[in-house]
Amino acid sequence: MIKTGADQLELPGDFSTEMNSATPRVFIAATRQNDGKTTTSLGLIAALQKHFPRVGYIKPVGQRFVEIEEQKIDEDTVLMDAVYRMDIPLVDMSPIAVEPDFTRKYLQAANNEALVKKIQKAFDRVSWEKDFVLCEGSGHAGVGSVFDLSNARVAKVLGAKVIIVSQGGIGKPIDEISLNQALFEKEGVEIIGVILNKVLGEKVDYITDFARRGLKRKGLELLGVLPYEQILSNPSVDLIREELKAELLNEPPELSALVENVVVGAMGAQNAMQFFKRGVLLITPGDREDIILAAAAMTNPQSEEKMAGIILTGGLRPSAAVLKAIQAMPIPVLLVQPDSYEVASKVNNLIVKTRPSDAGKISLIRDIVAKHINVKKIIDSL
């Protein structure tokens, strides 16, 4: 059950005293946004639960949020709560949401002490009756510096040691890790080690060997190398629908099909038919009724090889007869205002975040982390 501030637990003790320093914790940071912090955190919680039955989670400063019962809650917090049923008020797992005017308000009237206390109080609630707490940052070590709550500073406030997540490679990742290392060390925060993410399968052994050598020269441990899995980068049709604010023209059985390939239908129906296959998202103007009717005729509701979906562009609503055919289709058909080129660009540049409904992705993430990250080394370092 989702809990917001209205479901506050009755906890003993006075939170004006010092913050809990007994519960083990670790802070997950990254060299850049979208390097894999949430993926790593999602998998690590499952791995840690084998050693600590009750694992809590907090994202002290969030930048992408949704509104739940008039509370602004970070998207990653909603994901963790949905997957692991944390039994912690969401408002404590996501104490600070950086709204569009947050920085301006802070610069007009700095209230750093109040923000720090808010984070500490939230951590106390999150850690209540927990054996371990995983803390997730919001980007590289310096993110949040403008309002005096950089990731390095937040890790210091929480008394947490840090794991840095970076994209795969050797030279560039280690250069970026070194920049982050300097900021954490300036705050007196210890770095446990590094996890490299999205490494091509055939390069895992090579990257592991040389990245370990390079990191060792910086006094850092390599905790694991996560192989690249294309499925984790594939958006669902429902995610695309939300991001494009598209109108759904029919009622298909599900919207969770993953998009593996994007095709712009700028050809005749006869030539478009070759693309009517599994994982394809077809983008075509709404007045290309020949393509729409061909897709309707060739899409078998029982087949597992049917397309992921269709996006009709230009705000061009099909005729009543074609709409009737669309409503009978077993795949989602969306209508948007922008033209096909703009829609294709937006889909290709979409930041794909794991969602609670992505059961297959979540299972894969757990398996990858359990197999490729040295959780014992993390625990021993605490």
Pick from 3-7, 121-125, 258-262: least confident: 3-7
Residue 125 has pLDDT above 90, yes or no: yes
Q: How far apart are CA 165 and CA 185, in angstroms?
A: 16
Residue type, position 343, single letter? V
Q: How far apart are CA 50 and CA 36, in angstroms?
A: 22
Report the 10 Å Cβ neighbour count for 272.
22
Print burial letters for 25-58: b (CB count within 10 Å at least 16), e (below 16). bbbbbbbbeebbbbbbbbbbbbbbeeebeebbbb
pLDDT of residue 326: 97
**pLDDT band at residue 139 under the 50/70/90 scheme:** confident
Q: How far apart are CA 122 and CA 16, in angstroms?
A: 12
Task: Compute CA 81 distance to the chain's CA centroid, rounded to the nearest angstrom.
Answer: 13
| Ramachandran class of 281: left when φ > 0, alpha when ψ lies in -120 to 50, beta otherwise | beta
Per-residue model confidence as pLDDT tens digits over 74-102: 999 999 999 999 999 999 999 999 988 89
Helices (H), 109-225: 112-127, 151-158, 171-186, 204-216
Per-residue model confidence as pLDDT tens digits over 169-178: 899 999 999 9
3-state secondary structure of 165: strand
User: What average pLDDT does this structure show over 292-296?
Assistant: 96
Per-residue model confidence as pLDDT tens digits over 44-68: 999 999 999 999 999 999 988 888 8
- Tell which wins on pLDDT, 326 or 32: 326
Query: Which H or E run includes 76?
Result: helix 75-84
CA 132 → CA 20, 45, 90, distances in Å? 12, 9, 17
Q: How far apart are CA 36 and CA 40, in angstroms?
A: 6
Residue 381 has pLDDT above 50, yes or no: yes
pLDDT of residue 11: 39
3-state secondary structure of 163: strand
User: What average pLDDT does this structure show over 288-292?
Assistant: 96
Counting Cα atoms < 13 Å in the Cβ hemisphere of 250 gives: 24
- Which tokens sit at 60? 């002290």
Residue type, position 271, single letter? N
CATH 3.40.1390.20 fits 237-348, yes or no: yes
Determine phi and psi for 119, rounding to 5 degrees. Answer: -65, -45
**pLDDT band at residue 133 under the 50/70/90 scheme:** very high
Residue 33 has pLDDT above 90, yes or no: no
The chain-wide mean pLDDT, for the chain, equals: 92
Residue 310 has pLDDT above 50, yes or no: yes
> Domain residues of the chain, as ranges?
5-230+356-381, 237-348
- Percent above pLDDT 90 for the chain: 85
Superfamily per CATH, domain 5-230+356-381 = P-loop containing nucleotide triphosphate hydrolases (3.40.50.300)
Residues in CB range of 157: below 8 A, 6 or more apart: 60, 116, 119, 120
User: What average pLDDT does this structure show over 263-268?
Assistant: 92
pLDDT of residue 337: 97
User: What average pLDDT does this structure show over 327-335?
Assistant: 97
User: What average pLDDT does this structure show over 281-297?
Assistant: 96
3-state secondary structure of 29: strand
pLDDT of residue 2: 45
User: What average pLDDT does this structure show over 299-313?
Assistant: 93
Q: How far apart are CA 215 and CA 87, in angstroms?
A: 38
Q: CA 298, 359, 151, 15 torsion: positive or negative? A: positive
pLDDT of residue 7: 42
Residues in CB range of 354: below 8 A, 6 or more apart: 38, 39, 42, 79, 232, 361, 362, 365
Q: How far apart are CA 301 and CA 310, in angstroms?
A: 15
pLDDT of residue 116: 96
pLDDT of residue 16: 41
